[in-house]
Amino acid sequence: MSDQPITSEPRLASSFAAATSSWLPAVILLLGTIVAWEAIVRIFAISSFIIPAPSEIGRSLVAQWGTLMQATLVTAAEILLGFVVSVVVGVAIALVIVRFDWLGRALYPLVVLFQNVPKVALAPIFILWFGYGLAPKIGLILVIAFFPVTLSMLAGMQSVDRSLLSLMNSVGASRTQILFRIRVPHSLPNLMAGTKIAATLSVIGAIVGEFAGASDGLGYVIQFASTQLDTALVFAALLLVSVLGIAFYYAAEILERIVVPWAPKFSHA
Amino acid sequence: MRIDTIRADGGKPAHIRHDDLISVKGVSVVYARQLVLQNIDLSVPKGSFVSLIGPSGCGKSTLLKVLAGLVEPTSGSVSIGGLSPVEAARKRMIGVVFQDANLLPWKNAVDNASMLLSIADKSLSRAELRARGQEMLELVGLGDAAHKRPNELSGGMRQRVAIARALALDPAVLLMDEPFGALDAITRDSMGQSLLEIWQRTGKTIVLVTHSIDEAIHLSRHVHALGIKPGRITGSIDIGLPYPRDLAVTEDPEFVRLVVQLRTMLRASHQPGDAS
């Protein structure tokens, strides 16, 4: 039987080349947009509290660097903690639903029902309950981000082939054995996809939490700066929020490659 | 219902043999108010190679699942070495291979080969499991692919690992449900040949479900034809061709005669009016 050895070196080199050529158009478009933005603001002399020019945003970023970095750290900590709690709780709920029939039948409809509650609207209540610190942000991220984790892991655990389960049953495997030796590892590619969604939602949860009531963090900076009509600072903070979002997304993607190196990869390159 | 038993070697009818490992008596299966299998009588002598052949929907896979203890018959009895199929499976007497290899993508070939054994026998250490897995991979001709993951193996190689996984239990019976059904013709031939070699080296009793007339005659000692609506055994043929057989046997005049005979038998059970 023919079977080529799988070498990684040439693939790595070619994927780097492919990545550069696929990124290049996006980078050109981005730079073009920034240049056009700057030009339009200057030509039409648009007031900086309506639309600040990119150069002004840059100046604000440098001038307020210390404050912004401190706020970024606060928000990053909220996102990271909220994300971890969401994944842990999301996985636990999925395991309970699959392992215990009765509990699962009780829990699953409630989880789906809860998904339809506009959770952003819970932010003021969380502030009321937990105060202005870290706790209400973690709570808000949890209610926003656990659902894709639970749902994706459930889908993965329930899509195990029936004949594989037959084989396991034929040698007398227990339900717990089937759960941890087959269903859980089988669900990891799905779980990782859900985790990436949760990473993005965690950023939203943190900012919404800070909007509802905070004395620190990038969401607080955005709100405070907009009341001062310092739109350049609003944009500077927005830029940092976006960088955080991208960083967390790619961190989740790297985690995926470490956890499920055997899963089929869907590459954009 | 007419049971047409034609024997090439003029031996005793199968159901009165004393060295039967598997004995099925009057088994019927009703599923979703449909009679899937009707009054099946079947004996499989110890160490024999038996094929079940028939059109789609004849219940041949259901019959195999009954033997594996995965489907409970509605009536009738099944004995595997004097035990019920479920008891026999718990005593590791039954190895099953399906059309899909169903390997675990996160485990390499050797760990896949010992996966079921690790559940069936919890006393074995990791090293013992590995050794057993390696031994079985060598038996199926994959000794040097032990550390490859399923996505690095071809379809035929994956199916070989699935056979190794079943054999690792050291079962008395190997039940195979269209194991080569998803493979191309050339791979299929070489898999059949390997299966014959494995059978002769291990002395296992093999029950193979197939829809290939050539495959059934090439490999087995006894072939049972099944008809549809309801699923029942419509005829049996003993294949007298001597072992060891290789692919050249397919050009033997006796092989050609048996193909015609089996095809005629299958066609008869397909005719309108035959199903009542």
CATH code of B196's domain: 3.40.50.300
- Model pLDDT, residue A5: 45
Residues in chain B with CB shorter than 8 Å from the CB of A182 are: 104
Residues in chain B with CB shorter than 8 Å from the CB of A167 are: 96, 98, 102, 116
Interface touch A3/B102, C-beta < 8 Å: no
Within a domain: B181: yes
- The pair phi, psi for residue B171, each rounded to 5°, is -80, 160
Interface touch B120/A171, C-beta < 8 Å: yes
Distance, in Å, from the CA atom of B122 to the CA atom of A31, rounded to the nearest integer, reads 62
Average pLDDT, chain B: 88
Distance, in Å, from the CA atom of A239 to the CA atom of B243, rounded to the nearest integer, reads 77
Interface touch B69/A170, C-beta < 8 Å: yes
- Model pLDDT, residue A49: 85
Within a domain: B204: yes
- Model pLDDT, residue B272: 54
Vertex A37, ends A34 and A38: CA angle to 5°? 90
Chosen from A167, A182, A187 to mutate, greatest number of chain B CBs within 10 A: A167
In this structure, of A28-37, A252-261, B4-13, B235-244, the range with the lowest mean pLDDT score is B4-13
Is B105 at the interface with chain A, CB within 8 A? yes
Same domain flag for B48 and B109: no
DSSP-assigned letters across all residues of A117-156? S-GGGGHHHHHHHHTTSHHHHHHHHHHHHHHHHHHHHHHH
What percentage of chain B exceeds 70 in pLDDT?
A: 91
Residues 6+ apart with CB under 8 A from A103: A96, A97
Same domain flag for B201 and B143: no
Tell me the pLDDT tens digit for each residue of A132-145: 889 999 999 999 99
Same domain flag for B207 and B142: no
Same domain flag for B51 and B164: no
Same domain flag for B49 and B137: no
SS (H, E, C) A92-115: HHHHHHHHCHHHHHHHHHHHHHHH
- Model pLDDT, residue A262: 82
DSSP state of B231: B
Residues in chain B with CB shorter than 8 Å from the CB of A172 are: 89-90, 119-120
The residue among B124, B146, B170 that closes a domain is: B170
Tell me the pLDDT tens digit for each residue of B57-94: 888 999 999 999 999 999 999 999 999 999 999 889 99
Same domain flag for B16 and B144: no
Within a domain: B129: yes
Segment B146-158 mean pLDDT = 93
Contact A234, A163 (CB under 8 A): no
Query: Can you list the residues of chain A whose pLDDT is less than 50?
Result: 1-9, 266-269
Task: Please determine, for residue B109, whether its predicted confidence score (pLDDT) is greater than 90.
Answer: yes
Which residue among A1, A161, A163 places its CB closest to the CB of B157? Answer: A1
Contact A146, A187 (CB under 8 A): no
- Model pLDDT, residue A131: 86
Range(s) of the domain holding residue B55? 1-93+175-276
- Model pLDDT, residue A82: 96
Interface touch B102/A163, C-beta < 8 Å: yes
Distance, in Å, from the CA atom of A12 to the CA atom of A236, rounded to the nearest integer, reads 36
Q: Where are the domains of chain A?
A: 14-46, 50-259
The residue among B132, B154, B170 that closes a domain is: B170
Compute the nearest-CA separation of B24 from chain A (Å): 19
Q: What is the ipTM of this complex?
A: 0.80
> pTM to 2 decimals?
0.81
Same domain flag for B70 and B185: yes
Searching chain A, which residue's CA lies closest to the CA of residue B67? Answer: A170
Segment B252-263 mean pLDDT = 92
Stretch 119-158 of chain B: residues touching chain A, C-beta under 8 Å: 119-120, 145, 148-149, 151-154, 156-157
- Model pLDDT, residue B9: 43
- Model pLDDT, residue A10: 52
Contact A264, A188 (CB under 8 A): no
Within a domain: B98: no
Task: Please determine, for residue B6, whether its predicted confidence score (pLDDT) is greater than 50.
Answer: no
Residues in chain B with CB shorter than 8 Å from the CB of A168 are: 116, 119
Please identify, in words, the CATH class of the domain defined by A50-259. mainly alpha
Same domain flag for B161 and B195: no
What are the DSSP E strand ranges found in A39-113? none
- Model pLDDT, residue A13: 58
- The pair phi, psi for residue A39, each rounded to 5°, is -65, -45
Interface touch A166/B116, C-beta < 8 Å: no
Residues in chain B with CB shorter than 8 Å from the CB of A177 are: 119
Same domain flag for B183 and B269: yes
Q: Does A123 or B275 have the greater pLDDT score? A: A123
- The pair phi, psi for residue B223, each rounded to 5°, is -120, 130
Same domain flag for B183 and B276: yes
Same domain flag for B4 and B79: yes
Chosen from B70, B83, B118 to mutate, greatest number of chain A CBs within 10 A: B70
Residues in chain A with CB shorter than 8 Å from the CB of B90 are: 171-172
The number of domains in chain B is 2
The residue among B170, B186, B206 that closes a domain is: B170
Same domain flag for B165 and B190: no
Stretch 224-263 of chain A: residues touching chain B, C-beta under 8 Å: 260, 262-263
